[in-house]
Amino acid sequence: MFLVNFKQFVEQKRTIIFSNFSVLFLCTADFFLIMAVVRKLGNIKLLKCRPSFISLQVCHFSNGAGTRWNIKKSMYTTIGLAVGGASALLYALEQSVKAYDWPLHPPAYNWSHSGVLDAYDHASIRRGFYVYKNVCSACHSLDFIPFRRLIDVAFTEDEMREIAAEFQVCIQDGPNEDGEMFMRPGKVSDYIPPPYPNEEAAAAANNGAVPPDLSLIVLGREGNEDYIFSMLNGYTDADDIPAGVEISEGAHYNPYFTGSVIAMAPPLYNNVIEYDDGTPATRSQLTKDVVTFLSWCSQPEMEKRKLWLIKFLILIDTSGHP
Amino acid sequence: MIKRSFLYQLIFKRTGTMVLTAVLGGIILETAIDNISEAIFFKYNKGKLWDDIKHNYVKDV
């Protein structure tokens, strides 16, 4: 159990580290490009080294410490090669471990927010919230998202007030000035209320399986959005289940889920809800929208990050100095 | 010689004007970069952002 969790953790961190690396690489490459351009423009008087400075440098390197420098250099090269080789080996070993991982791997979909500069499709976030509210919220909590966070992202403040009040008609608050707890309707400052008071209640209502919190689920599963989309759309009809697979009462066959037998009933069907913007509510549309919404829940700062990338590149470009 | 240059006489000679220039320059540069990058981002993502779909939902008084 611990190992599985640890592996998932590493997997998740690896995607995050790699995506950050690619951005870092881009920035570094950009920086070197600017440096090269500036070097080429070296005729500009201001950027030229004065001769005295160059000869000073030459003196510094030929003052008899030559051999030591060479030994040091070969040492660094060896260490570099060893570390590089070891990490390549580790990476290769880690990759081959996947051979006995037998769930179906999801295809890579082209999400409206997957490009380096792409923002979320906010109309889709809005529809996805309706899907969560009307379908998933019966079983899944969304503990880290307060209602107010959706204001000016997918809803106006007035709309959100209404939604919060009808999401939970009664919520315990207090104490008031008499020291008593009282009931009130939900407010925009509340976090989205969970469907079950605790895990035991959740398990008891779902054949012993606990529906996980969805706030960070997109980052918490290998394959991220692609996995959630494929899993939600990947249920197999009772007739098509491979021979020899035992499906107990209340379980379902889903080749994308680790172990292939999942306790969640297929949640989405064509027209299970109606959209207020007139988009046809087919199953794949519902799924795409709820996954976009859950992706936003996992990383509401994504757009700011992408905006900062542009700022960073402009800043590096304007201050490029060799 | 740089010493006699116009910029030197005007700005770099006194610490006060130097600091003032640095602060003002910082503010101007930051505002400019903010505006440019936001313009790029909004143009690139036109139609997807909340500002582009808000008019469907805001009730005009």
Average pLDDT score, chain B? 87
Mark whether A110 and A221 lie in a shared domain: yes
CB contact under 8 A, B45 and A118: yes
Mark whether A17 and A116 lie in a shared domain: no
Q: How far is B16 from chain A (nearest CA, A)?
A: 24
Q: Which two tokens stand for residue A104?
A: 């179906």
**Within a domain: residue A176?**
no
Mark whether A235 and A320 lie in a shared domain: yes
CB contact under 8 A, A310 and B57: no
What pLDDT score does B33 carry?
92
Alpha carbons A237 and A250: distance in angstroms, whole number: 14
Quickly state the pLDDT bin for A1 (edges 50, 70, 90).
Answer: very low
Average the pLDDT over each of A93-97, A165-169, A206-210, A223-227 and give the range with the smallest value. Answer: A93-97
What pLDDT score does A44 carry?
54
Mark whether A255 and A110 lie in a shared domain: yes
In this complex, the residue of B38, B44, B58 whose CB is nearest that of residue A117 is B44
Mark whether A137 and A221 lie in a shared domain: yes
Residues of chain B positioned with their CB less than 8 A from the CB of A121:
48
Mark whether A118 and A21 lie in a shared domain: no
Average pLDDT score, chain A? 82
In this complex, the residue of A121, A154, A315 whose CB is nearest that of residue B33 is A315
Mark whether A258 and A138 lie in a shared domain: yes
What pLDDT score does A238 carry?
79
Q: Which of A310, A312, A319 to probe by mutation at the B interface, max B CB count within 10 Å? A: A310
Nearest to A218 by CA among A158, A274, A287, A122: A287
Mark whether A88 and A122 lie in a shared domain: no
Mark whether A89 and A109 lie in a shared domain: no
Looking at A66, A101, A136, which one is the last position of a domain? A101
Mark whether A83 and A120 lie in a shared domain: no
Alpha carbons A302 and A298: distance in angstroms, whole number: 9
* A156 interface with B at CB cutoff 8 Å: yes
What pLDDT score does A59 carry?
46
What pLDDT score does A102 carry?
66
Alpha carbons A249 and A252: distance in angstroms, whole number: 9
pTM of the full predicted structure? Answer: 0.75
pLDDT > 90: percent of chain A: 50
CATH of the domain at A251: 1.10.760.10
Q: Between these two residues, A269 and A44, which has the higher pLDDT value?
A: A269
Q: What is the pLDDT of residues A286-296, one digit of tens each?
A: 999 999 999 99
Q: What are phi and psi of A87, to 5 degrees?
A: -70, -35
Q: Inform me whether the pLDDT recorded for B51 exceeds 60.
A: yes
Alpha carbons A212 and A263: distance in angstroms, whole number: 12
Q: How far is B44 from chain A (nearest CA, A)?
A: 8
- Angle A220-A225-A230 from CA coordinates, rounded to 5°: 110
Contact A231, A253 (CB under 8 A): no
The SS3 call for residue A281 is coil
Which of A41-45, A72-76, B19-23 ranks highest by mean pLDDT? Answer: B19-23
CB contact under 8 A, B50 and A121: no
Mark whether A70 and A131 lie in a shared domain: no
Looking at A101, A120, A135, which one is the last position of a domain? A101
**Which residue(s) pair with A155 in the sheet?**
A151
**Within a domain: residue A162?**
no
Quickly state the pLDDT bin for A113 (edges 50, 70, 90).
Answer: very high
Looking at A46, A70, A101, which one is the last position of a domain? A101
Residues of chain B positioned with their CB less than 8 A from the CB of A112:
48
What pLDDT score does A128 carry?
96
Nearest to B45 by CA among A150, A309, A120, A288: A120
- DSSP states of A75-119: HHHHHHHHHHHHHHHHHHHHHHGGGG--SPPPPPP--TT-SSSPP
Domain count, chain A: 2
Contact A124, A292 (CB under 8 A): yes
- Residue A268: C-alpha distances to residues A213, A236, A282 (Å): 18, 14, 9
State the count of interchain CB pairs (< 8 A) between A and B: 50
**Within a domain: residue A196?**
no
Nearest to A281 by CA among A84, A99, A135, A114: A135
Domain residue limits at A20:
2-101
Q: Inform me whether the pLDDT recorded for A215 exceeds 90.
A: yes
Nearest to A216 by CA among A95, A123, A301, A98: A301
Quickly state the pLDDT bin for A316 (edges 50, 70, 90).
Answer: confident
